[in-house]
Chain A
Amino acid sequence: MNRHARAYRLLLCLYPRSFRERFGDEMVTLFAELVGDARRPGTRFGVTRLWTHTMIDLVTSARRERWEDIMRPHHTLGRIVIVAIPVVAIVGLLAAGWATALALIAAGVALAVLQRARLRSTLVGLRGDRWWLTALLGVALFTAGLGSLWLPISSASAWTIGSLLGVAGLGALGLALVSALAAIVRPPATSGAD
C-alpha cells in the first residue's frame, strides 16, 4: 500500500465505524488504484487533483454518512440527545441561569457518551439479563441527584439538577424492575438478542 493510500485510510475515521468496517478496505483499494492512474506519464498534477477531488468528496460524503448513522432507527437516544441538548440548554439558561444550562449540557453529553458506548440497550432495550446494570445506573443517578443539593451553586440550580437526576434515577430503577420481571418471564437466550 502506498503512502497516499495509507493517508487515505487514516482519513476514513471521518466515516461512521459501521461504514468503515463494511467498505473501508474497498475504498482504500479503490483509492490506491486511482493514485496509480494519477501517476501515469503525461498526467499533470494528477495526484494533487486526485487529492483535491477526494477531499471534497470525503467532506460531503462523510457528513452524509454520519448523519444517516445517527438517524438510524435504533439510534433513538442519539436523536433525542441531538435535539434535546440545545433545547434544554436554552430552557435552562432562561429558567435558572447559566450554571443549570451548563449542567444540562453536561448531562446531555454524558447521555451521548452512554449512547456511544452501546449502553443504550441496557437503558431502553429491556434486556432482561442486564437489569442489574440498569439498577446500578439508577442508584448512581439518584445518589448524584441527592449529592447535587450540596453543590456550591444557587439553591434553585441545585434543586433543578437534583430533581432531573433524581427523576432519571427513579426512571432507571423502574426500568430495571421491569427488566428483571422480563428476565423471569422470558429465558435470557431470547431476551438478550439484539
Chain B
Amino acid sequence: MGERASSALPPAALHVLLAIGPGERHGYAIMSEVERITDGSVRMGPGTLYGTIKRLLADGLIEACAAPPGNPRDDPRRRYYRLTTLGQTVAATEVKRIETLLRRSGARAWTTQGPTP
C-alpha cells in the first residue's frame, strides 16, 4: 500500500475519496458531492461510481459502515462508505501532491488556452 500512497490516484478514485470526506456517504450522496465539488463538470454514472468503489474497497482505502444515526426514513438498501485511515492518508498525500504541482508551476498564469508567458 505504500506504493499506492506515493503514486497518483485515478481521477475517479480521487473524486470519490474527496466526496466521501470525513464522514459517511452513500452512493447517491457521493455522486451528488462529486458533481458539486467539480462544478458539474464530472457526472459519474452508477457503473463508474460502483466500479471505483469496488477498487477502493479492494485497496483498503474505503470501507462500508453502518448508516449514521438520526435518519430513520433512510432507504435500508443504501450502503454507506467512509474513508479508512489509509484512505485518509492517500487522499491527503494526493491533494498535497497536486498543491505542490500547482505551486511549483504557479509562476505561469494558466488560461483555458494554456499557459501564458
Q: Which residues of A pack against B, CB within 8 Å?
A: 8, 15, 19, 22-23, 25-27, 29-31, 33-34, 53-54, 56-58, 60-62, 64-65
Contacts and interface: CB of A to CB of B under 8 A. Distances in A.
Interface of B: 26-28, 31, 43-51, 53-54, 75, 77-79
A12 to B, nearest CB: 9
B25 to A, nearest CB: 12
B51 A27 contact: no
Chain A CB within 10 A, most for which of B26, B31, B47, B49: B47
Contacts, number: 58
Contact of B47 (A25, A27, A33, A34): A27
Contacts of B28: 29-30, 33-34
- Which 6 pairs from chain A and chain B are nearest by CB? A57-B45, A61-B47, A23-B50, A27-B46, A30-B27, A29-B77
Contact of B48 (A22, A26, A33, A60): A60
Main SS class of interface, A: helix
A26 B47 contact: no
A58 B47 contact: yes
Main SS class of interface, B: helix
A142 B57 CA distance: 45
Contacts of B51: 19, 61, 64-65
A86 B48 CA distance: 30
Chain A CB within 10 A, most for which of B28, B45, B78: B45
Contacts of B45: 53-54, 56-58, 61
Given A23-B54, A57-B48, 20 more contacts: A8-B46, A25-B77, A26-B77, A26-B79, A29-B27, A29-B75, A30-B27, A30-B28, A30-B31, A31-B46, A34-B28, A34-B46, A54-B45, A56-B45, A57-B44, A58-B45, A60-B47, A64-B51, A65-B47, A65-B54
A57 B47 contact: yes
B47 A30 contact: no
A26 B43 contact: no
A25 B49 CA distance: 14
